[in-house]
Amino acid sequence: MRSGRPGIRTPVRQRGVALAIVVWFIAGMSLLVAGIVSQARVDIQLAQLHLFRAQAEAAGDGAIHLLMAQLQESPGADGGAMEGLPFGRYRFGEAEVRVMALPAQALVDVNSAPQALLAQLWSEAAGLPRDEAVQLAVNMVEWRSNRGGGNRGGGRFDVVEDVLRVEGMTRTRLDAVRHFISAGQGGGMANAAPQERLRQLSALAPGSGWNSGSLETSALPGARTPQAARSATRFRVDAIVDVGGRQWLRRRWVASQSAMDSRLPWRTERTEIARVVGNAP
């Protein structure tokens, strides 16, 4: 009888093994399907993000050109301005766009700003402790003063991202002052009220509400009066585009030029990729 027991148990054992294999197969297929679905969702979200960015860039560029055209046609007009700053509101399809041209001279030029103003910038705008702000300002001045280049400096910041090469600088710190600075296009001289100047620049940052009311610009070089703002030769033009439930910033650095030199009486010196700055209202 013992010799027959193995023959009786074998089919049961085989059925158990087969069931385990089926269960493991189903579990593996479930994980595979879940992974495919998850990847598909990520791909869809990325595709939507690229689509919204493309729409924001197209609408933003169109609004920037319209504002610059209006500025060239009627430089003395006051309509649609916020305390002297050229401002416009447009709609392209379902995308609403608000665009403002800020004279580049109003910004803090990282290539020529004195150490005291840079320290104030890092303290007031970036919220760094006073000693860290002063040290960072010292490092920036030393870096741009080393015209020989090398690891200690390069003599000039060609774009604002070049400040990341300065010792002590981080991407977070740069992003904290990005809307306050320029590289070679702004005004570096200190004025009688640097704190007021930084406060007004903060109020002009995208997402701060500059599109919903008038703002004082008396402390900003090149933008103290409507006439001064419109007679500037270089602008940082910000377009805020509401698309996909978010607010996108499309930024261009624009310089005026003779109409005989180009089809347009202005040229784009730099264009920044559109990025999200907030949620659409």
More confident residue, 132 or 278: 132
Give residue-wise pLDDT tens across range 32-49. Answer: 888 888 888 887 878 888
Is the residue at 19 inside a domain?
Answer: no
Q: What is the dihedral of CA 277, 175, 213, 123, to 10 degrees?
A: 150
Is the residue at 25 inside a domain?
Answer: no
More confident residue, 6 or 171: 171
- Closest by CA to 215, choosing from 206, 207, 230, 203, is 203
More confident residue, 262 or 167: 167
Is the residue at 39 inside a domain?
Answer: no
Q: What average pLDDT does range 185-212 have in this prediction?
A: 68
Q: How many residues does the chain have?
A: 281
Give the count of domains, the chain.
1
pLDDT of residue 221 exceeding 50, the answer is yes
pLDDT of residue 160 exceeding 50, the answer is yes
Phi, psi (deg, nearest 5) at residue 127: 75, 25
pLDDT of residue 75 exceeding 60, the answer is no
Is the residue at 133 inside a domain?
Answer: yes
Which run of H or of E encompasses 181? strand 181-182
Is the residue at 125 inside a domain?
Answer: yes
Report the share of the chain in percent with pLDDT over 70. Answer: 78
Is the residue at 38 inside a domain?
Answer: no
Strands 181-182 and 108-109: parallel
pLDDT of residue 242 exceeding 60, the answer is yes
Q: What contacts 145, CB < 8 A, 6 or more positions away?
A: 153, 155
Q: What average pLDDT does range 162-177 have in this prediction?
A: 92
Please state, rounded to an integer, the average pLDDT across all residues of the chain. 80
Is the residue at 68 inside a domain?
Answer: yes
Residue span of the structural domain in which 106 resides? 48-75+84-213+220-279
Token readout for 20 is 């385990």
Report the share of the chain in percent with pLDDT over 90. Answer: 33
Is the residue at 8 inside a domain?
Answer: no
Lowest mean pLDDT among 61-75, 127-141, 188-202: 188-202
